[in-house]
Structure 1
Amino acid sequence: MSRSRILRGAVLAIAAGVGLAMVPAGAQAVEPEGPPLAQRLAAKVTVDAMNRHLIAFQRISDRNGGRRAPGTPGHEASVDYVLGKLTAAGFDVTTQQFPVPYSEALVEKLVVGGTNVKMHMALYTPNTPVGGITGPLAVVPDNAAPGCAAADFAGADYTGTIALIRRGGCPFAQKQQNAAKAGAIGVVFANNVDGWLRGNLTSPDQALIPSGGVSLVDGLALREKAGQSVTLELKVLNEQRTSRTVIAQTKTGRTDNVVVAGGHLDSVVEGAGINSNGTGSAALLETALQLGASPKVNNAVRFIFFGAWEFGIIGSPYYVANLTFEQQLDIAMYLNFDAIASPNAGYFVYDGDTGPYGSGHIKKSFVDYLTARGVPTEPIALNQRSDQLAFLGVGIPTGGIHTGLTGAKSAAQAAKWGGTAGVWFDACYHEACDNLGNIDRVALDRNADAMAWVTASYAISTEGVNGVPPRAERAKVRSLSRAAAVTAADSI
């Protein structure tokens, strides 16, 4: 790594108020070996350029009610911004429009035993009457899948109660439907991991009774308050709207072995979504612009900015479902980038060793690059809730990186990466405070470099993922094959 690049990282770290990733004593962070295109692209994707895109997303949000949520003018303006940049750069660009069941909380209130408890509405929940619904708190017994079977509600009278059900084991809609059949008039879902919880009832027609979610800590506290009076009040706007996904592909490279890189462009209704997922979108956009529409690559590169992630991950499944099997075969891999600059950043890489063949190679590519840059990583499950799930579901190799959202950074992680132990990776996740002041620009720089490096490397060759060699290697194999055939013919 050049001295100027090391100094740039140090200055950014000081400005962000975080520590640099630890490098073993006597070791020096260096650029790993790789294709020249990967080296050039990683150098050309800069923090300044990405920050300009983030400023654009922030101003779009500020001009549109403080949000870039799907089905709102803020998201449409975000789509137009990305679409305009990619079109001007010469990419083949299309948009895919699809229906979205829009859901926005106007009132969210939970009072237990006279005490207010922070709660978020479950997606697609029905409204309560004005003033709310009131009943005793009924705690559904804990097991491996609480509330997932009608038998979980046997042995107690849930008529007129508000049921407290721990997350896990089955969809929220199923738990809520079982509670309603048992006589409950409302449901409070309690998280089973650190962080607050919204819950998703899948669709308005599956939502039977008013429901919302609380954090792990509040859920544990509520379990001790069984029988106390609960008032739940929800006023929700539910209506059908549309959203759009932006798809841009290079004009060069094989179109039957495409490298796809993507992330979601929308925010929650509550805020601008600058870390989640403005950072992933900004890095994707700048990587595309610096790669250019007609790069010298062996494999085409497709950049996708999905819509409607925040309403239950709709855009990416819709996109994959509308591909034929042959079109799916044309995709060599999918690389996912969701929240890559959390303010208390970790460096997580999807554990492709458990995924479709080739996913382990993608994981190693990210780990090798970041490790060479002096940034240690940790694996996370490949089935994390994000846009890669749709590609995983049809067997496409996947991978990606992100910097953590809910959950607190451990002492060991703080020692390894800097930052603050005991604090969420992103305390503003899905909140109004997820704005321009909520990102770590050191993490943005490092992860965008990794994104550019890995994307460009696979644009040259996907041989390690699916056995497809680069053009020069294919020509060499054909030449050797012809020579062998001539030799065999001469020997007859």
Structure 2
Amino acid sequence: MVGLGRLSLIATIASVSAQLQKPLLSQPDGVLPETGEKGSKLLVDTESLQARISIESLVKHAEALYELAKSSEEEFGHPTRVIGSEGHRRTLEYVAAEIDRLGDYYKSSTQSFPAVMGQVFQSRLVLGHSVPESASAMSLTPPTPHKEPVYGELALVDSEGCNTSDYPHELSGKIAFIKRGTCSFGTKSELAGRAGAIAAVVFNSNADGLSGTLGVPSPDHVPTFGLSGKDAEPVIEKLKAGKVVDSIAFIDSVVNTINTTNIVVQTVEGDPENCVMLGAHSDSVTEGPGINDDGSGTLTLLEVATRLTQFSVKNCVRFAWWAGEEEGLLGSDYYVATLPEEENKKIRLFMDYDMMGSPNFAYQIYNATNAVNPTGSEQLRDLYIDWYKSKGLNYTFIPFDGRSDYDAFIRNGIPGGGIATGAEGIKTKEEELMFGGKAGDWYDPCYHQLCDDVSNVNTTAWLINTQLVAHSVATYAASFEGFPERVATKAATVYDQDTLYHGRYLVR
């Protein structure tokens, strides 16, 4: 593997194996390949591939991944696989080593790219005499000068703060108070900075809290908070009545640019002009080891890639492990942005697998339709529906709204979809009846937290969904009969208009 230090890689795998006191898998549990005449491998079929999926293999890999996350403890004080950490570097080495063990079935490559990562250590916002609980520093916000509190009057910005003319002429030395809407949070912060504000607060247009990102750093960005509409309402009343609201803003944060790496592997066999592509992200958030988010997806891909070697394929299959998803889909964005148009058209569809085993799970399907997304997205959605139905399992739809790595593919004309089991959303009573678990709790109570460890993965859901991933791969690796041809490299504009997310953060 290019750029992944082979001596370090061997040492890492040996270390993990020793700690677990059990060997890592090589070929799939000694299962021989399906063979035809003269020992040639048979064309992949879905039932045979599904039958080879092993929950024991998945759990063993998860235990190894957690050990790798622990290598970040010295720097971060706890296990994590955030980009730039030792835990993430070793995750990449681990995936690369496991693919190398599969011999010449795949050709592998790595793609290094610059990634912006940020971390907020402390933040505090005081509005008048109150400290609103909903106030939170936005992702990729700069710190307050010298990482010290700044003091200033609050100034209400006209409209939604998307134009220079919305900002008061007397904003210098004040804190801009801006309503959410229309344009990105980064644009609002930038315009506030250009107008002389020392900080900005973006309040929600409804009562809910607001957790967003400023996106690509700008020298004009100012320290920026998100605030719930509920906490903003009394402040707005005072400002509109002409009252002065003295405020204090404090943010201790860092924003750095580092280099990180995507891993992409493709079958040597199969028509390279018609490629089945699937991906998961290899990184976690800073706060925890990310074994469900998205260690489960990472290892599902690894398990399917391993079992697929027992078969031949008609269409090429391409697996991708993205870096920087948690910072805003950076790896997948970079990959698609650097694809030449002729290479873009070779990808018949992209399947995203992020969070396959949430403890309080629901079987969720992205509600991708051809009316809004590139043609073929709906056919993929229906494949998932049909499979769940064939197993007698319930399913539910979730918005296809830009929160995971399918986003860049859809924006660039590649049909897409995927499945998940839920993040910070709350399970309904109806879903409790459909899937079990507990209504009123998050699907993943450890989402983006330190407790997202090996014990945080529901093995029943993980096994079921890995079998469904195997089904999706086997179906299209064998044939694209009935699946729409690729016709364009640009997505429907409706998708762009409706998308409020780019990764886990709101962007506007």
Asked if these proteins are the same fold (TM beyond 0.5), I'd say yes
Counterpart Cα distance in 2 of 1:301 and 1:193: 44
Aligned residue number for residue 444 of structure 2: 426
Counterpart Cα distance in 2 of 1:97 and 1:233: 35
Q: CA RMSD in A?
A: 2.7
Aligned residue number for residue 59 of structure 2: 51
Deviation at 1:46, TM superposition (A): 2.2
Counterpart Cα distance in 1 of 2:409 and 2:476: 17
The one of 75, 84, 90 aligned to 2:88: 75
Aligned residues: 426
SS at match of 2:426: coil
Counterpart Cα distance in 2 of 1:451 and 1:329: 22
Aligned residue number for residue 62 of structure 1: 70
SS at match of 2:274: strand
Counterpart Cα distance in 2 of 1:74 and 1:269: 10
Aligned residue number for residue 220 of structure 1: 230
Aligned residues of 1:140 and 1:152 also touching (Cα < 8 A): yes
Aligned residues of 2:162 and 2:183 also touching (Cα < 8 A): yes
- Alignment partner of 1:149 is 2:166: no
Aligned residue number for residue 186 of structure 2: 173
Deviation at 1:428, TM superposition (A): 2.9
- Alignment partner of 1:102 is 2:102: no
Aligned residues of 1:109 and 1:116 also touching (Cα < 8 A): no
Counterpart Cα distance in 2 of 1:287 and 1:360: 23
Q: Which moved more, 1:359-368 or 1:42-51?
A: 42-51
Aligned residue number for residue 322 of structure 1: 338
Counterpart Cα distance in 1 of 2:321 and 2:291: 14
Aligned residues of 1:359 and 1:465 also touching (Cα < 8 A): no
Q: Write the deviation string for residues 170-190 of structure 1: whole angstroms up to 9, x where unpaired.
A: 211112123334553222344
Q: 1:133 to 1:60 in 2, by over 3 A?
A: same
Q: Write the deviation string for residues 260-312 of structure 1: whole angstroms up to 9, x where unpaired.
A: 010111111222122211111111111111112x7311111110001111222
Counterpart Cα distance in 2 of 1:136 and 1:43: 65
Counterpart Cα distance in 1 of 2:350 and 2:403: 15
Counterpart Cα distance in 2 of 1:445 and 1:167: 41
Counterpart Cα distance in 2 of 1:176 and 1:393: 25
* Structure 1 counterpart of 2:324, one-letter code: A
TM-score by length of 2: 0.77
Aligned residue number for residue 39 of structure 1: 47
The one of 347, 350, 353 aligned to 1:331: 347
SS at match of 1:429: coil
The one of 301, 313, 317 aligned to 1:301: 317
Q: Write the deviation string for residues 6-63 of structure 1: whole angstroms up to 9, x where unpaired.
A: xxxxxxxxxxxxxxxxxxxxxxxxxxxxx97211222222222112222222111112
Q: Which moved more, 1:179-188 or 1:278-287?
A: 179-188
* Structure 1 counterpart of 2:457, one-letter code: I
Counterpart Cα distance in 2 of 1:102 and 1:283: 26
Counterpart Cα distance in 2 of 1:437 and 1:39: 29
Q: Write the deviation string for residues 362-412 of structure 1: whole angstroms up to 9, x where unpaired.
A: 000011111222222222333432111111122111111112223322222
Aligned residues of 2:347 and 2:414 also touching (Cα < 8 A): yes
- Alignment partner of 1:86 is 2:99: yes
Q: What is the 5 A alignment of 1:203-352? A: 203-205=216-218, 208-214=221-227, 218-226=228-236, 229-292=246-309, 295-352=311-368
Stretches of structure 2 that go unaligned for 5 or more consecutive residues are: 1-42, 74-78, 239-244, 487-508
Deviation at 1:134, TM superposition (A): 3.1
Q: What is the 5 A alignment of 1:114-193? A: 114-115=130-131, 117=133, 119-128=135-144, 129-137=146-154, 146-150=160-164, 152-153=166-167, 160-190=173-203
Q: Which moved more, 1:83-92 or 1:368-377?
A: 368-377
Deviation at 1:193, TM superposition (A): 8.5
Aligned residues of 1:71 and 1:100 also touching (Cα < 8 A): no
Deviation at 1:68, TM superposition (A): 0.9
Q: 1:76 to 1:193 in 2, by over 3 A?
A: farther
Identical columns (%): 32
Q: Which moved more, 1:339-348 or 1:181-190?
A: 181-190
Aligned residue number for residue 371 of structure 1: 389
The one of 397, 408, 420 aligned to 2:415: 397
Counterpart Cα distance in 1 of 2:339 and 2:305: 23
Q: 1:341 to 1:197 in 2, by over 3 A?
A: farther
Q: 1:135 to 1:437 in 2, by over 3 A?
A: farther
Aligned residues of 1:252 and 1:300 also touching (Cα < 8 A): yes
Counterpart Cα distance in 1 of 2:357 and 2:154: 40
Q: 1:230 to 1:414 in 2, by over 3 A?
A: farther
Aligned residue number for residue 479 of structure 1: none
Deviation at 1:101, TM superposition (A): 2.1
